[in-house]
Chain A
Amino acid sequence: MHDRRLQVAILILLGLVIVSMRTLYLQAQDPMPLRAKTSYISIVTIPRAKIIDRNGKVLAHDERSFDLYMIPNEFDKDPTVIIALREIMDIDDALLTLYDKINQRLDNRKLWLSERRVPQLLKRNLSFETAMKIEIDSNRFKGLIVRESMRRSYPYGKIGSHVIGYIGKPTENEFLKVLEDESIPEHLQAILRSRPELKESVVGKMGIEREFDQTLRSSPGIAVLERDTSTGEKRDISLKDPEAGEDVQLTIDIDIQKKVEGILDRQTQNGCVVVLDTKSGEIVAIVNKPSFDPNHFVPPAKSELIQDYLNQESKPLLNRATRGEYQLGSIFKIITALAALEEQMLVPSRTIECKGKYFSRDDAFRCWIYRQHKAAHGHLDLTGATARSCNIFFYRLGQDLGMGLLKKWALKMGFGEKTGIGLGFESAGRLPRDSAILTNSISFAIGQADFLVTPIQVAKSFSIIANDGICVKPHIIKKDDIASLRVEISSENIGHIKKGMQAVCKESYGTAHSLSHLDAMGKTSSAQTNSSSSGAHSWFAGIYKNYAIVVLLEYAGSGSEFAAPIFGQVASCLK
C-alpha cells in the first residue's frame, strides 16, 4: 500500500508487456492462410471444335467475337457509365436483369464480396465498333472490360443445316450435366455455378452438334489467380487445363449438297433428297426443304426468329430424310418382287394378265391404268410389270406371299427399323400389323396399307440392291472401318430386279423414260396419303453409278412426273 510508485510503474510495465506480447504472438503466426484468400477464379474458354465436310471444308466453327465484362465494384462507383453505355448500345431489360442477377446470385456474403471484384460477363457478341469504343475510351467506361471470345458460325448458312444442326444455351439440367463432366472441385461449384461463362456456354441442340456434343465441346480450363498482396505478384494456378474438342468430319460433300439444295429450292413442294454412296455407305447429301439457318440459333438468339421457325406449319426444323414418315407406294413393288423371286413363288418368265381390275376373296382392286384411262396392261412379265408399275401383277404376288413373308423381306431390306446413320431423333418408320386379312397384304404389296418409311430407309434398301445383297451400313461420320453384312439374296434374282428397274428408265413404256439419257435404274412411286384431298407423295428412288438417290416431294402427285426429273438433275450433279 505504501508504495504507490511501484504500483504505477508496474501498471505501466504490465501494459507494455501485454501489448508487445500480443503483437509478437500475431507476428509469429503463419501469414500464408491469409494470402490464400486473395485468390480469384478465372475460367479459360477455348473454341468448340469444327465440323468439316468430306473434303475438309468447314461447315461449323468458332469465330472471333467480343464480349462485354463488368467489374461490379468499379461499375457501381460511377453512375455516368451506364448513361455513356446507353449512348453507344442498346441496353435491354435482359441486360439489366443480368446485372441484377450478378448482384443477387450469391447468398454467401463473403463470396459475393470477392465476386464483385472479378469481371463478370454482361453481354456476348458486341459489334466491332461498340467494342472499340469501349476499349478506347476506358476512362468513360470504368469497370467495363472487352474481351475477345468465340462465337459459333455456320459459313454455309442453310446448306446442310439439318445434318449440322445448331447450338443453344444449355437448359438447367444440361448445365448441371456439364458441371458434372468437368469434375470441378466441390468448393468451387458455387462460384462456377454462378458464373455466366459456363451458364452461357453452348450445347448442341440438334444434328451433329447435338449427337457429337461431347466430342466437339471443349471443356474450359479453370485457374485460380492468386495475388500475393505483399509483393503484388500474380500467380496462376491451373486447377484444370482446358481440353480442346475434336473436329468431326462428315461424309457430306457440301458442294453436292449445295447443288441439290438449289434443285430442290426451285420446286414448289416441300420434300427431301438423299444421296448415298452405295459402296462405302457414306451419305453424300441430305437435303430437306424447307430449311433453316443455324446462325439464327446462336446465342444471343432472337427469340422471335426461333418462334417463327417453330410455328411454321411446314416444319423447317424437321429433318424429313431421317425423321419424316411417309407412305412409300409403288417403290415397295421392288421388294415384293424380290421376295417372290427369293421365296420361289415367281419365275422371271411368268406372266400375269392385267385386266385393269383384280378380285381377291373379299375385295376388289384396280390398277392405276384402269383408274386413269379405263384400260388394262394385258399380259406382263416381271420386267414389264416393274417398268409399267402395274398394280395387278404385284397384287397377285402379294396375295401369294401373304403378310408374313412380305414383312420378313421388308425387314430384311431395312424397313421398320432405324438405319443408325448417326443423327439423333431418327424415326423407325412403321410396318403393317400382322393380320390374316388378305386385303392388307394385297395393298402392302404395292407399298400402301399401314406402312410408313423414312427416305433414308429407302436409300438403304436400294444400296443393298445396288451392292448385289451386301448391306453397307449408311453413315454420316467419315470413318475407315465400314460395317457391312450380307443379306441372303441370290445375285441372279437381283439381276432380274435390276433389269426391271433399268426398264423403268430406259424403255419407252417405262414410268421414268424421261431419264433414258442417263445410265440409271430406279422406280417411281405416287404414294397415296391418308388425306385424299392433298394428293399423293411423289417419289423416285434410283441407282446411278455407285449412288443410291431418293427423291421425295410431299403431296406433289405423280412420281414419274415430278420426282423422276429431279432425280435426273441430281444425278447430273454427281461426277
Chain B
Amino acid sequence: MSKIKLALIPVALTCLGLLSLYSIEPPLDSAGQDMFESMFFRQLLFLCIAVLIMIVVSNIHYRRFWSTSHVWYGLSIVMLIAVLLFAKNVRGARSWFKIGIFSFQPSELVRIFLVIVVAKYMSTREKLVGRDLLIIFAMVLIPILLITAQPDMGMALITLVSVVIMVYASGITFRQSIPVLIILLAACPLIYKFGLRDYQKERINAAFKMTSLDSRYQVDQSIKAIVSGGISGKGIGQASLTMPFYVPDRHNDFIYSHICEELGIAGSLGLVFLFGVFFLSSLRLAFWTRDLFARYVVVGLTLGLFVQFSVNIAMTIGIFPVTGLNLPFVSYGGSSLFASYVAAGVILSVNRFWRPEFSEKRLPESAFTITPTKS
C-alpha cells in the first residue's frame, strides 16, 4: 500500500504540473511547430523518462548504493568541478550542462549522492560523537562550496539544511553539535558579506520588505496571482497572460502561484496534501526499516525534498527570500524532475528490498527508539 502511494504521488504531482503547463502555453496552438518545442510535450516526455528511471532505480537493491558510496562521492566532486570549468554561463551562473535538447544540472544529483554518503558514514558508527560531526561536516562542505561557487546559493543552502536535519534526526545531542553550530553561525555573516551576489542580498532584503518595490516585483506578482484566483480559482486556462497578474517564471519556480490562481483552494490544498502524504509515508517507511543506512537515506532524501518544497512555496507566498529553487515533481524542467524521481526511486527501493532478515546489525541505542513492527 505504502509502495503504491510513494510511486503514484510523484506522478500525480507531475500531472498537476502538466495541467498548469498546458494552460500557460497551450501546445496545440502553435501549429506547424515541432511538438517538442512546447513545454507541455517536453515535460510529458521528461515524465515518461523519469518514471522509467524511478522504476529502474527502485529495482536496484539499496545496499548497492551503500557499497558504492565512495564512487558517488567522487562522481559528485568531478561533476561539480566539470560544470564549473565547462558549463556555459546562464543568467550569471554555471550550473548547467547542455546535452542535446536536455539540460542537466549536476547539483540536483549531488544532493542525493551526499545523502547516501552521509548515511553510509553515520550507519558505520557505533555511536555518533562530536568528532564524527566534524568529519561529516567536512565531507559535505567540499561539494557545497563547489555549488556555492557556481554560484547557486539556494541549492547549497537546502543541501546543507537537509543534511543538518538528517544528522539531527539521528539523535545527536546538543553538546555534541556545538562545534559545528559555532562554525555555521560564524559562517553566516561571512557568507552574507562575501558569498552572496548583490542580487541575492537584494532578494533576502526583498523578502523582508526592506527594499524598493522593484526587487519585490516577482513575489508581489505571485501574491497578486494567488489573491486574484481566490477560493474557487479562475478555472483551467483562465489565468491571465497579461499584466498585471503576469508572474515571471510561473512555469518553473512560481508554478505554485499559477496552480492557486487557476484552481483555488482545490489546487493549493490538494498539492500540499499530496506532498504531505508522500513525506509522511516516506518517513513512516524510514522508521519502519531497521537498517540504519536505509533509514538515514530515506530520512535524508525525504527531508531534502521537504526543504525544497517548503522553501519554494514559502517564497511564492512571500514569507521567504527568492532562492531560485523549484517545486519538486511539479515545476517544469528535466533535470530537476529526474533527480526527484531518482530520490523517489531510492525510497521505493528501500521499501521493496528491506526485509527484517536482511538487517545486519543491531541498532545502536543512541539512534531512533524503535518499536519493532512487522512488515
List A residues at the B interface (Cβ < 8 Å): 1-5, 7-9, 11-13, 15-16, 18-20, 22-24, 26-29, 31, 34-35, 37-38, 110, 117, 229-232
Contact = CB atoms under 8 A, between A and B. Distances in A.
Contact of A27 (B170, B231, B242): B231
Contact of B226 (A15, A26, A35, A229): A26
Interface in B231-286: 231, 234, 238, 240, 242-245, 260, 264-265, 268-269, 272, 275-276, 279-280, 283
Given A230-B240, A232-B240, A27 B369 contact: no
Nearest to A29: B227
A351 B269 CA distance: 119
Contact of A117 (B243, B280, B368, B369): B243
Contacts of A23: 226, 260, 268-269, 272, 313, 317
Contacts of B35: none
A229 B242 contact: yes
Contact of B306 (A3, A12, A230, A231): A12
Contacts of B234: 230
Nearest to A26: B226
A4 B240 contact: no
Contacts of A26: 223, 226-227, 260, 317
Nearest to B275: A16
B260 A230 contact: no
Interface of B: 165, 168-171, 173, 213, 223-224, 226-231, 234, 238, 240, 242-245, 260, 264-265, 268-269, 272, 275-276, 279-280, 283, 287, 299, 303, 306, 309-310, 313-314, 317, 319, 368-369
B320 to A, nearest CB: 10
Contacts of B265: 24, 27
- A1, A18, A19, A37 — most chain B CB neighbours (10 Å): A19
Contact of A4 (B170, B269, B317): B170
Given A9-B283, A19-B314, A27 B244 contact: no
A24 B238 CA distance: 20
A166 to B, nearest CB: 43
A5 B368 CA distance: 7
A231 B240 CA distance: 8
Nearest to B264: A27
- A7, A9, A27 — most chain B CB neighbours (10 Å): A27
Contacts of A110: 213
B266 to A, nearest CB: 10
Given A8-B299, A27-B230, A34-B224, A19 B317 contact: yes
Contacts of B173: 1
B244 A16 contact: no
Contacts of B314: 18-19, 22
B272 A20 contact: yes
Contact of B272 (A16, A34, A35): A16
Given A20-B269, A27-B265, A229-B228, A34 B280 contact: no
Contacts of A230: 228, 234, 238, 240, 245
Given A24-B265, A27-B226, A38-B244, A4 B276 contact: no
A186 B78 CA distance: 65
Contact of A16 (B238, B242, B276): B276
Contact of B229 (A18, A27, A231): A27
Contact of A8 (B244, B283, B319): B283
Closest 8 interchain pairs by CB? A229-B240, A15-B310, A23-B268, A19-B313, A26-B226, A31-B228, A20-B272, A16-B276
Given A20-B268, A22-B319, A8 B310 contact: no
